[in-house]
Structure 1
Amino acid sequence: MNRDDLVIQLRGAALSLSGNAGEVEILRGIDLEVGRGETLGLIGPSGSGKSSLLMLLGGLERATGGEVLVLGQDLTRLSEDALARFRRDHMGVVFQSFHLIPTMTALENVATPLELAGHADAFDRAAEELAQVGLGHRAGHYPSQLSGGEQQRVALARAAAPRPEILLADEPTGNLDEANGTAIMDLLFGLRDRHGSTLVMVTHAPELAARCDRTLPLRDGLVALPAGAPA
């Protein structure tokens, strides 16, 4: 892969957290390259480090070792304010538990990151994204008035509205039934195609992983080797 086409490069990325039982190694030297427009699924058993790796990519956790290069920036060297600005300008993040602001309508939730980025057309773009996920008619409703599937659609619209170069999704269908999960999958890949974003997602769903260009299996904080591969 041409180095100019790489949007994510991890070199020996490690994450350790301190707790009552001492230091715990969450990620133990991850090497990874992701190309522009690629879709990567992070898979593996619970506790393998998938969500922690996604948080490193979004600058929501700071690596305790190695390098995390995203769009040429080493996230380990940025201040918290700089990381927040970097996410605002380049990333969209979708969480399993939606993280909508309960006192804001669907339209206001989607418009908020656009307003923070200084877009004068924030509400017009928010309305357009809500229409794209089939919720134009629910723009004035609050999260408590929406179903789980509708809330995740709002979260997707919010992540996509700034037209980010990178979309990160942590178990985007994990809290949804099969029908809503399938709809969210279709919308997520549709957003990727429409905006040309690089998509990295954590998933336990085999059907979602199968739609990715490739998968990265993790186990015990390491990239899991295929069966029969040399150690």
Structure 2
Amino acid sequence: MTDTVLSLKDVTLRLDGNAGPVEILHGVSLDVRRGERLGLVGPSGSGKSSLLMIMGGLERATTGRVDALGHDLSALGEDALARFRRDHMGVVFQSFHLIPTMTALENVATPLELAGVRDAFERAGVELESVGLAHRADHYPGQLSGGEQQRVALARALAPRPDILLADEPTGNLDEANGAAVVDLLFGMSARTGTTLVLVTHAPELAARCDRVLRLRDGRVDTDQARAAE
């Protein structure tokens, strides 16, 4: 079995703007190994979030090839992409994207139910307990703090045991204390489950916890540096 779970070759992204086409990514190539924790950093507008979206099949590359777990994402239709993400990927955004009319437990159970898991609610309860929110299972998102909502979002993303977890500024809307708690959970759960983590962040201390840091500038890879052995 190959050790590479994500592979991008000469990926470009061009989007139509009001003033014409805008070049977002320029010939990005990279491989991400199984179990690796990769940080994507760079100034605003450098293409970090766009690159993450392409890795998850949420945005299609204009040219180039994107392979995830041996599947060419550009060859998959929207329904097949959705099924692939359901079965293999978790995504955590800066905005929590919880369903406001569902309780914390129901939010976490939803992807499990969609995947046909029979004990979806039991497993969802275990995931909520793992992020310290078993006592908030029956609360709706509007009744939870920002830190609690992000912990629910993290539990939801990891409940199906994805091969790959994509996180886009997961602490961006949190205060320092809640952000630190979410980061500890994120890295702890990734290590415990063996999930490959790709993380977009502006925080140097968060990037420093990754195994490798890829710095983007103007839609190109500027540096690609592995963390020194401790």
| TM score, norm. by length of structure 1 | 0.96
In 2, distance between residues paired with 1:48 and 1:20?
19
Kindly report which structure 2 residues correspond to 1:173-184, keeping only aligned pairs within 5 A, or say none: 173-184=171-182
Amino acid in the other structure paired with 2:120: A
The number of aligned residues is 224
In 2, distance between residues paired with 1:207 and 1:112?
33
The alpha-carbon deviation at position 77 of structure 1 amounts to 1.1
Secondary structure of the structure 1 residue equivalent to 2:2: helix
Alignment partner for residue 211 of structure 1, among 209, 212, 222? Answer: 209
The alpha-carbon deviation at position 225 of structure 1 amounts to 4.2
Structure 1: give runs of 5+ residues left out of the alignment: 227-231
Change (3 A) 1:127 1:225: closer
The alpha-carbon deviation at position 194 of structure 1 amounts to 1.7
The alpha-carbon deviation at position 19 of structure 1 amounts to 1.8
Secondary structure of the structure 2 residue equivalent to 1:154: helix
1:147 aligns with 2:150: no
The alpha-carbon deviation at position 52 of structure 1 amounts to 0.2
In 2, distance between residues paired with 1:127 and 1:109?
11
* Residue in 2 that maps onto 1:161: 159
- Across the aligned residues of Structure 1 and Structure 2, the Cα RMSD in angstroms comes to 0.9
Alignment partner for residue 47 of structure 1, among 41, 45, 69? Answer: 45
Secondary structure of the structure 2 residue equivalent to 1:81: helix
The alpha-carbon deviation at position 149 of structure 1 amounts to 0.1
Amino acid in the other structure paired with 1:152: Q
Deviations 1:69-102 (A, max 9, x none): 1101111111000000000000000000000000
* Residue in 2 that maps onto 1:61: 59
Kindly report which structure 2 residues correspond to 1:1-80, keeping only aligned pairs within 5 A, or say none: 4-80=2-78
State, as a whole percentage, how many aligned pairs show the same letter.
Answer: 75
Alignment partner for residue 107 of structure 1, among 99, 102, 105? Answer: 105
In 2, distance between residues paired with 1:135 and 1:113?
18
Secondary structure of the structure 1 residue equivalent to 2:91: strand
| TM score, norm. by length of structure 2 | 0.96
The alpha-carbon deviation at position 42 of structure 1 amounts to 0.2
In 2, distance between residues paired with 1:141 and 1:194?
27
Amino acid in the other structure paired with 1:217: R
CA contact (8 A) 2:104 2:140 kept: yes
Amino acid in the other structure paired with 2:7: Q
Alignment partner for residue 126 of structure 1, among 102, 124, 127? Answer: 124
Secondary structure of the structure 2 residue equivalent to 1:60: coil
Deviations 1:123-142 (A, max 9, x none): 00100000000000000000
Secondary structure of the structure 2 residue equivalent to 1:187: helix
1:170 aligns with 2:157: no
* Residue in 1 that maps onto 2:90: 92
The alpha-carbon deviation at position 116 of structure 1 amounts to 0.4
Structure 2: give runs of 5+ residues left out of the alignment: 225-230
